[in-house]
Amino acid sequence: MMRGCFFLLALMFYTSNVQGQKRNNIWAFGDNVGLNFNTNPVSVFKSKSKGTIPPYYISSICAGNGNLLFYTDGQTVWNRDNFVLPKYQKWWPWHGNVMPLITPYVSNDSLYYIFGIDDDEADRTNSFKLQYLTIKMYNPGDIEEAVYPRPASVTSFYTTLLKNASHVLAGTGHCNQKDTWITVHSPGALYSFLITANGVNPVPVVTPVPASVLPVKRLNAKYSNIKFSANGERLIVPENDNNKIAVFDFNTQTGKFSNAMTIAVPEGQILEDIEISADAGKLYSGAYETLDDYAGTEVHHIYQMDLNAGSPQEIEKTLYPLAGDRVACVRTCFTIRRNMQLGPDGKIYISKREGSPLTLDRTFAVIDNPSRTGIDAQYFETKIDFGKMPRVLNYNYIRSQNFTARENSIQVRKNTCVDKPVEFSLIFSRLDSVKWDFGDASSGGKNFSTLFKPQHQYPGPGSYKVRAIIYTGCLLDTASAAITVQEDKAVHISAAINDTALCIGDQLVLNAAAPFSKEYLWENGLIYPERIIDKPGAYAVTIFNDCSVDRKSFKVTFTVCPCGIHMPNAFTPNYDGLNDVFKPVYDCHPKDYQVKIYDRYGTLVFESTQPDKGWNGKNRNNEMPAGVYVWVMKYQHPGTKEIIRKNGIVTLLR
């Protein structure tokens, strides 16, 4: 199986792949599965992961070209060929559920640090301590001993940095884009250790955390973890005991945290996992509520909130439930665990259910554009198919290794409609200045901008290369991105789809087809433009093409309407096209309709259970004579359920 290939697409945050450093382009997690971000689209990687029950985390590291070097769950180390690297004398510091994290040496391309925190309460020697060791790997597929250099004793090959650490671990790059910060939590504070060319500094930068933000005890993250945004500007911390999320600003130069705030999930819901967009602007949370305590019926949600909205209360008001991610099931049929991970392609990958026979549970959901607001984030329920149940998405890596000022900082849609301006931004917000070149010389002075979030209208379809010169307190660098302006125009849902009131018994027939639209998604998962609605409720439809999306929500209500049926008193079946058939005129669609017609001798000459099928004046193809006939009718009112009976006479004229 091929573990690595080439990224040929230009660097784009919203695109499927990126150029440059691909240190984390192979993931391993769950039940012997993983993801390969070197392919387009993302493909499945077969790993030796044993993560069937959380918490169980894996970290991996690739060469700069994306070829897998090795990965570990903190107990076992596998190379790219899934070969277990041997341990000298079987010496190893960790034995329980380990939170691992791999990062390269700053000054040596073949040496790597493995950091870990073990939660094994039985092993009092190393439990809940931040420790690290070194591993050597020259080339993908090498079979090295798992510890470098070979240990001299059972305790000499690893270093303890912090005791009484919570079972959470994250890292991000220094603003000089050479060094790396490793961050952990210990009761009352966040600790950041800096890795430089001189090694790991054992003296941490300590940021006290008040009890009003996080309880002064080891965190209970369940099967979640603390996570840095890819730009390193924010850290999010799950506080599962109180179903809250702590958010901190981070200074990538000093290692200090600031501006702590606490965000709550909707009242009555249980926090599962959290994630943050690469530009640190959007917070995502997985949470569930129990609808029926006796049966254990749960409904699981994915929410988005805007971290730039202001105060915690203002941020909570931006809560947006992503369409399509509403699943309910009795606990006994399967387990639902939401895990979310930001990928090196800038998308968020979401694990779903386990233990059910449904085909959709072999898949991951994906948020294509996490930095965009609401519907524009583009949530897809079944994007990655593993062919088997993948279980939990339990992966840990340093996101900033894939997002640098040069390699992956421009945010732009991969494809833009020809009738819309292209919107640009950078994942970094703490900039001194920026200068854009949109690659459109024909636009003259409009080809340049110094705005942080500019727009540019291109003259027509085609490919364009954009550059941005970025100035910060730490560096000066140039980012580039390639964009494609499509021939298609933006899609728009018809104004005819809106709130609608109907009579009970009626149906609403909708067609969301629109010019240039290629995909459709209703709130219940239907993917066709046509829809028949016969029940009240809230509905939504989303339409897409390669360069745009539109969504509309609407309500359908049903009320009890008059349901009278009126019968003519005469008809003339002479085939002149005027009043040739005797049938009812009705205000609604009656249920259980029945009509019978008798001649003056009491002989049944016609009967029907279909209101639209009338009497043409014949009985068994024999024309009946002119005269008076008796009709008897019965039907059910579709709103009130009342049984209504009527009778009368009709004159047949010839």
Domain residue limits, the chain? 26-402, 410-485, 500-559, 565-652
**Which architecture characterizes domain 26-402 according to CATH?**
7 Propeller (2.130)
Q: Name every residue whose Cβ is closer than 8 Å to that of residue 557 and which is 6 or more positions away in sequence.
A: 499, 500, 501, 502, 536
pLDDT (average), residues 165-175: 96
Residue 28 pairs with which residues in a beta bridge? 34
Q: Are 39 and 26 in contact (CB under 8 A)?
A: no
Number of H helices, E strands in the chain: 1, 54
Strands 415-416 and 476-485: parallel
- Domain 500-559 has what CATH class? mainly beta
d(CA 649, CA 640): 27
| pLDDT at res. 295 | 58
Residue-wise pLDDT tens digits, 74-124: 999 999 999 999 999 999 999 889 999 999 999 998 999 999 999 987 767
pLDDT (average), residues 410-429: 86
> At which residue do the structure tokens 């390269």 appear?
104
Dihedral angle over CA of 160, 161, 166, 167, nearest 10:
-50
Helical ranges in 305-345 per DSSP H: 312-317
pLDDT level of residue 535 (50, 70, 90 thresholds): very high
d(CA 367, CA 282): 12
Computed over every residue of the chain, the mean pLDDT equals 88
Domain 565-652 has CATH 2.60.40.1220: yes
| pLDDT at res. 20 | 41
Does 173 score more than 70 pLDDT?
yes
Does 422 score more than 50 pLDDT?
yes
Do 26-402 and 565-652 fold alike per CATH?
A: no
- What is the torsional sign of CA 42, 48, 53, 56? negative
Residue-wise pLDDT tens digits, 551-602: 899 999 998 888 888 999 999 999 898 999 999 998 888 889 999 999 998 9
Half-sphere exposure of 137 (CA within 13 A, CB side): 29
Q: Indicate the CATH number of 410-485 among 2.60.40.10, 2.40.40.20, 3.20.20.60, 1.20.140.10.
A: 2.60.40.10
pLDDT (average), residues 464-477: 88
| pLDDT at res. 90 | 93
Nearest C-alpha neighbor of 590 from the set 648, 502, 504 = 504
Q: Are 63 and 122 in contact (CB under 8 A)?
A: no
| pLDDT at res. 170 | 98
Structure tokens belonging to residue 578: 């005027």
Record the pTM: 0.78
Does 15 score more than 50 pLDDT?
no
| pLDDT at res. 125 | 83
